Structure 1
Amino acid sequence: MNISYKKLWIMLIEKDITKTKLREKIGISTSTLSKLTKNEYVSMEVLVKICVELNCDIGDIVELNNL
């Protein structure tokens, strides 16, 4: 199963928020942001922080793809 954060990047564009600004607001490391950019797994804590900051649900930022 593959994970995709494409929905997150679209949402950031729509809200005019850069990846760096999001990273700074929620207090995650550059390596965690890199994992998100590469569609790698991150902790549920990180996903919850993103959802709280963007006022959305996890399904609004994450998509699971079966291969």
Structure 2
Amino acid sequence: MAVSYKKLFKILIDRDMKKKEFRDFVGISYSTMSKLEKGENTTVEVLEKICLKLGCGIEDIMEILPDTTISKGAE
């Protein structure tokens, strides 16, 4: 499964918030921001911090994308 944070970055665009402003506002590191940009996994604590600061739910900032390839016998 893959994770997408496109919804989060859409919120930042809508709020006219630069990534550095967002990092400072939420209190996350550059490396955590980089993980979000790359669609990598991050901790639930980080996601919770983001949601509380932005006043939204987790479904508003991320989505889980199913694998596009299913190996045989894994049904």
Give the TM bin, normalised by the shorter chain.
over 0.9
Q: Report percent identity of matched pairs.
A: 49
**2: CA distance between counterparts of 1:62 and 1:54?**
13
- The match for 1:53 is 53
For structure 2, the residue ranges without an aligned partner over 5 or more in a row are 68-75
**Normalised TM-score (structure 2):** 0.85
- The match for 2:24 is 24
* Structure with greater contact order relative to length (CA < 8 Å, sep ≥ 6): 1
**1: CA distance between counterparts of 2:47 and 2:28?**
11
Structure 1 residue identity aligned to 2:27: G
1:65 equivalenced with 2:53 (yes/no):
no
Q: Which has the larger radius of gyration?
A: 2
Aligned residues: 67
For structure 1, the residue ranges without an aligned partner over 5 or more in a row are none
**Normalised TM-score (structure 1):** 0.95
CA RMSD of aligned residues (A): 0.7
Structure 2 residue identity aligned to 1:18: K
**1: CA distance between counterparts of 2:44 and 2:62?**
11
- Structure 1 residue runs of 4 or more that deviate by more than 6 Å after TM superposition: none
